[in-house]
């Protein structure tokens, strides 16, 4: 099951959350090429990708890659 959201918990102002991992899986029948991964939305500047094994990869059917994200509570 794919989570519909991530829970970064309570983050103190000026601090960074614990990392949260997102697993991307190719559920199709053909190879999936991932050119880039971006964070968008109203609060996008408060989230940071700390590890990205997906960008530039080609996933075979059923293959996965992982993206790790943190939340930084601005001052």
pLDDT-derived band at 2, boundaries 50, 70, 90: low
- What is the tens place of the pLDDT at every residue in 5-49? 888 989 999 999 999 999 999 999 999 999 999 999 999 999 999
- Identify which of 44, 52, 53 has the alpha carbon closest to the alpha carbon of residue 71: 44
pTM for the whole structure: 0.86
- With a cut of 90, say whether residue 4 has pLDDT above it: no
- Could you read off the pLDDT of 44-65 as tens digits, one per residue? 999 999 999 999 999 999 999 9
Write the DSSP symbol of residue 45: G
| Cα 22–chain centre separation | 5
pLDDT at position 39 is 93
């Amino acid at each position: 099951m794919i989570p519909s959201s991530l829970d970064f918990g309570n983050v103190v102002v000026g601090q960074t959350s614990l990392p949260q991992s997102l697993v991307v899986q190719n559920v199709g029948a053909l190879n999936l090429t991932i050119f880039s991964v971006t964070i968008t939305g109203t609060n996008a500047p408060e989230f940071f990708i700390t590890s990205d094994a997906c960008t530039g990869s080609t996933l075979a059917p059923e293959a996965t890659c992982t993206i790790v994200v943190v939340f930084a509570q601005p001052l």
